[in-house]
Amino acid sequence: MAGTIGTIDEYHATLKILLIGNSNVGKSSLLLRFTEDTFLPKDDVSATIGVDFKVVDTVINGKRYKLTIWDTAGQERFRTLTSSYYRGVQGVILVYDVSKRESFDQLDSWFGELNTYCSSKDVVKMIVGNKVDKEHSRVISRKEAEAYARKMQTLFIECSAKTRIGVKEAFDELVEKIIETPSLWQKKEKQPDNINLPRSAPTKQENSACC
């Protein structure tokens, strides 16, 4: 189980997580809910410009991890640095809004972008259906989304940044899955640079499973 603790000094690993998805699906709100347990009223929210990130500690099985969570802009005009967002990423959360069909239908193109810039098959992917508090205007059923996640072979969870339902569970599950996939972070950790490697050792690029 994940939790936040201040007594363990050393980080076991630093993990990079990326939030992608259409504009307005609630990526920034999910990040704010997870890192600060806050939800901003509608009038205080503005669209992300380019990219934003937050750093948060989490403890899993007694080991401390540093999470850098990158929140990307959903609006096309701000997505000029796209490929650089994906560099070194170990987990990607694809967010849609359960009350907006278009945001679900466009997950295909978000997967397209992800697969273009992120060649590692090991990167942990999770589909998150946000805004389940808007049950009255829901247009994507849990069943439909689960079937899609099965087809794409990804994790899936529904949540609400507004009510906090499912938010911590989503990030915890993603991080636990990354930790269960040592090829994503262990080799990188052992070889922070390749300057002094013996000639026979693989280079960092050859050895890294990340994007």
Residues that bind ligand GTP (CB under 6 A): 23-29, 42, 45, 47-48, 73-75, 130-131, 133-134, 160-162
Taking the complex as a whole, how short is the minimal distance between the CB of residue 36 and ligand GTP, in angstroms? 13
Q: Chain centroid to CA 184: how far?
A: 14
Residue among 50 and 182 whose Cβ is closer to ligand GTP: 50
Residue among 48 and 58 whose Cβ is closer to ligand GTP: 48
* 193: amino acid identity, one letter: D
Taking the complex as a whole, how short is the minimal distance between the CB of residue 128 and ligand GTP, in angstroms? 10
Residue among 13 and 73 whose Cβ is closer to ligand GTP: 73
CB of 64 closer than 8 Å to CB of 5: yes
Taking the complex as a whole, how short is the minimal distance between the CB of residue 163 and ligand GTP, in angstroms? 7
CB of 25 closer than 8 Å to CB of 107: no
Neighbours of 195 (CB within 10 A): 6
Taking the complex as a whole, how short is the minimal distance between the CB of residue 59 and ligand GTP, in angstroms? 26
Taking the complex as a whole, how short is the minimal distance between the CB of residue 107 and ligand GTP, in angstroms? 13
Q: How far apart are CA 203 and CA 53, in angstroms?
A: 29
Query: Comparing C-alpha atoms, which of 21, 182, 19 is closest to residue 106?
Result: 21
Which residues pair with residue 196 across a beta bridge?
none
Residue among 26 and 91 whose Cβ is closer to ligand GTP: 26
* 49: amino acid identity, one letter: I
Neighbours of 98 (CB within 10 A): 27
Residue among 36 and 189 whose Cβ is closer to ligand GTP: 36
Which residues pair with residue 70 across a beta bridge?
18, 53
